[in-house]
Structure 1
Amino acid sequence: MEKRGPWQVRAKAKVFENPFIELHTYDGIRPDGAPGIYGVMSPKTYAILILPLFADGTTMLVGQHRFPLDNYSWEIPEGGSPKSDPPLDGAIRELKEETGLTAQHWREILQAETSNSVTDEQAFGYLAWGLEEGDQELDGTEVIERKRLPFLRALEMVMTGEIRDLPSVAMILKAHYMAGSGQLEADLARAMLDGG
């Protein structure tokens, strides 16, 4: 019998798979000694998050319909990248695909577990600056609107609940903290905090 923390696992079964995710159930003994089943959703990709920062203190958000909650969401550029690729390669690809932007400078600022009670998904978050604009390269599942706005306006959208996507919230708050605590290039931080 396999141990996973306080759980004892008797059997694992794959109950669903598509090109993007697998769903497994674990049959075992709960921490209280009773029989139990645990379900885990496993994406086949890493979650990749990018906060683009322009020299004038603005950023670019993307807006799109999100199928699971049937709502429209403003968020930072994000997507999935094969686990066989370095996460930064996925970030470069996703930024270009969703926004048309390319960046001279990249910095990883976040590694996160997106919802670790139900999924083993891992996220990698990057700041991108030294930006050059170009054309989007959307895939057939995407209809994405772009919006360039001051970084502080994006922060306000987080605080008022206009941005509800948790990876976007985490990245924007982390970047704001880093800008205010001297952890970013001085000119970039000043532009972000001066209102763009």
Structure 2
Amino acid sequence: MVPADESPDQHLRETTTESAELFTGHFLKARRDTVRLPDGASATREYIVHPGAVMIIAQLDDGRLVLERQYRYPVGQVMIEFPAGKLDPGEDSLACARRELLEETGYTARQWARAGVLHPVISYSTEFIDIWFARGLTAGARQLDDGEFLDVFTATPAEVLAWCASGAVTDAKTLTGMLWLQNVATGAWVLDWQGAAS
């Protein structure tokens, strides 16, 4: 094992020399750090601290996918997305995925599989999104948060892929989810499924 200070990436790493909090919001924080570059020069890095999130690729027994339409204020558009939501402090990723699927769509799942992790905006945020697959779905009542408005609908994978190709879907996590789904469907990528009680 290579010691941390002798890693093959050491010539690319930046070292924090100063750090200041610029803003603290309801769940986001903004920071400005001064860093020492690999060549010894200094630079400033401004970024958002995010608690992390989950996304759920929930598939019905007939193959259709559970999706949402939701207005996203920063881009001023209604977006087509897979269900997703942020982690609460100390919350387990699978517990968050189960909670978000139920709250937003009303569905529960008999089986879950963690596919991987997505870093959607690496240049200016610490955000990560754990990607979960869910199957064996049972419909139920939604439990939306106050102030949360979204439509839940289903579509075939082929329909969603066509929307990705046409630009009707531009949400990064949903595009990544479809990449995972395509590779799982062909057997190129394998999931480790677990029961809901695992």
TM-score range, shorter chain: 0.7 to 0.9
Q: What percentage of aligned pairs have identical amino acids?
A: 24
- Structure with the larger strand share: 1
Question: Counterparts of 2:69 and 2:13 in 1: how far apart (Å)?
Answer: 41
After TM superposition, the structure 1 = structure 2 runs for residues 39-118 of structure 1, keeping only pairs within 5 Å, are: 39-43=46-50, 45-118=51-124
| CA 70–32 in structure 1, closer or farther in 2 if over 3 Å, else same | farther
Structure 1 equivalent of residue 194 of structure 2? none
Structure 2 equivalent of residue 188 of structure 1? none
Unaligned 5+ runs, structure 2: 1-9, 192-198
Structure 2 equivalent of residue 27 of structure 1? 34
The alignment partner of 2:85 has SS state of strand
Which one of the candidate residues 25, 34, 37 is aligned to 1:18? 25
Deviation at 1:4, TM superposition (A): 10
Which one of the candidate residues 148, 154, 158 is aligned to 1:152? 158
1:104/1:131 contact within 8 Å kept: yes
| CA 57–4 in structure 1, closer or farther in 2 if over 3 Å, else same | same
Which one of the candidate residues 167, 170, 174 is aligned to 1:164? 170
Q: Which amino acid aligns with 2:56?
A: I
Structure 1 equivalent of residue 43 of structure 2? 36
C-alpha offsets along residues 33-75 of structure 1, whole Å, 9 cap, x if unaligned? Answer: 54421112111x2211001101111111100100111111011
Q: Which amino acid aligns with 1:48?
A: V
Question: Counterparts of 1:150 and 1:122 in 2: how far apart (Å)?
Answer: 27
Question: Counterparts of 2:45 and 2:11 in 1: how far apart (Å)?
Answer: 11
The alignment partner of 1:145 has SS state of strand
Q: Are positions 1:139 and 2:145 aligned together?
A: yes
2:11/2:38 contact within 8 Å kept: no
Question: Counterparts of 1:36 and 1:183 in 2: how far apart (Å)?
Answer: 40
Question: Counterparts of 1:102 and 1:125 in 2: how far apart (Å)?
Answer: 16
> Normalising by structure 1, what TM-score?
0.85
Question: Counterparts of 1:4 and 1:24 in 2: how far apart (Å)?
Answer: 24
Unaligned 5+ runs, structure 1: 186-196
Question: Counterparts of 1:8 and 1:75 in 2: how far apart (Å)?
Answer: 36
Question: Counterparts of 2:188 and 2:122 in 1: how far apart (Å)?
Answer: 31
